Amino acid sequence: MKKRLFLFVTPDGVTYSSPELSEPDVDNFQVLGYGEGQNAVEAFNDFRSRTAWLNDTKFEEVISVEIRHKIHEGTHFNLKE
């Protein structure tokens, strides 16, 4: 069976849209990385095996999202246009 690609994100943590801000102002998900496997569990194990730094974070919730196309095949958008 072909391996599938999963992206792993978390709603934990905060994001600043500008370094001048003293308070976080963006409510979003943070991309932690990706993994490959025949299912989300296998892909998560692959992801964890390559991201030892994850154990040193305070992230608690991780969500898997299956990716059907490689990122470089996706549509790119410019926010400044």
Task: Tell me the per-residue pLDDT of 18-45, one tens digit each, with 9 for 90 and over.
Answer: 889 888 888 888 899 999 999 999 999 9
Of 40 and 79, more confident: 40
Q: Is 52 contained in some domain? A: yes
Please give the order of strands across the beta sheet that includes 63-67: 30-37, 4-10, 63-67
Q: Is 42 contained in some domain? A: yes
> Which domain, by its residues, includes 67?
4-15+28-71
Residue 76, pLDDT above cutoff 80: no
The pair of three-digit structure tokens given for residue 43, joined into one six-digit string: 């892909």
Q: Is 23 contained in some domain? A: no
The pair of three-digit structure tokens given for residue 67, joined into one six-digit string: 């990716």
Q: Is the whole-model pTM more than 0.85? A: no
Q: Is 35 contained in some domain? A: yes
Q: Which residues contact 36 (CB under 8 A, 6 or more apart)?
A: 3, 4, 5, 6, 42, 43, 46
Q: Is 77 contained in some domain? A: no
The number of folded domains in the chain is 1
Q: Is 78 contained in some domain? A: no
Q: Is 62 contained in some domain? A: yes
